[in-house]
Copies of this chain bind each other. A is one copy, B any other.
Amino acid sequence: MKFSSRILEDIVDSLSALPSIGKKTALRLALHIIQCGEAKSKPIIDSLANLENLKECQQCHNYSDYELCHICTDTSRRKSTLCVVESVVDVMAIEDTDQFNGIFHVLGGVINPLEGIGPEELNIDSLIERTKSDLIEEVIMAISPTIEGETTIYYLSKQLANNNVKISQIARGVSFGGELEYADSLTLGRSIHSRTPYNISSE
């Protein structure tokens, strides 16, 4: 791509360094920003410049504007139920369901020896420390059902075994609204294995 302007080229370069943004997309975005002027560029500049003020919640490692995130400081939430997730996005996904009123713990990933991610790289020490408190009665493992996820759950459950907390994991099975024939065989097989009693009056 031959640019007539170094300024334009710099914008395209900086945007195309982002994941899933190619040169052509970056150029289209850059031209859009140029056409709109400050109305589009200022919010991006300001919000990115504000990034340095972003904190990690001291307790649950969620992103926060303060030392503690709004979930940890919310007195209406049940502090006895702790949901362990891989990342901040998972917290948002679970919060969007409106089905959980406990608190979270963000691991920051899963154990993955191939990528050099061991237990030390994750927020596991602080999790064990938290579950030592009498306050926490149950730890829910809301971790992706992958090999690495399973390994992480297994590791965590061994670590937490002495802490007198109930350990559970989110249900796995065929997704709601999904066609059975399109479910992968592993999911389908497991969901037959871990079938639940059907209660005629429940639904």
Interface residues of A (CB under 8 A from B): 1-8, 10-11, 13-15, 17-21, 25, 27-29, 31-34, 37, 40-41, 43-51, 53-55, 57, 62-65, 69-71, 87-89, 91-92, 95-96
Contacts and interface: CB of A to CB of B under 8 A. Distances in A.
Interface residues of A, dominant DSSP:
helix
Nearest to A32: B19
Contacts of A11: 47-48, 50-51
A89 B31 contact: yes
Contacts of A4: 57, 62-64, 69-71, 88, 91-92
Contacts of A45: 45, 48-49
A29 to B, nearest CB: 5
Contacts of A54: 5, 7-8, 34
A123 B10 CA distance: 26
A7 B40 contact: no
A86 B21 CA distance: 25
Contacts of A95: 2
B5 A46 contact: no
Contacts of A20: 25, 28-29
Contacts of A62: 4
Nearest to A60: B4
A47 B89 contact: no
Contact of A32 (B13, B18, B27): B18
Contact of A10 (B1, B5, B25, B43): B43
A28 to B, nearest CB: 7
A127 B91 CA distance: 57
Contacts of A21: 29
Given A4-B88, A19-B28, A92-B2, A33 B48 contact: yes
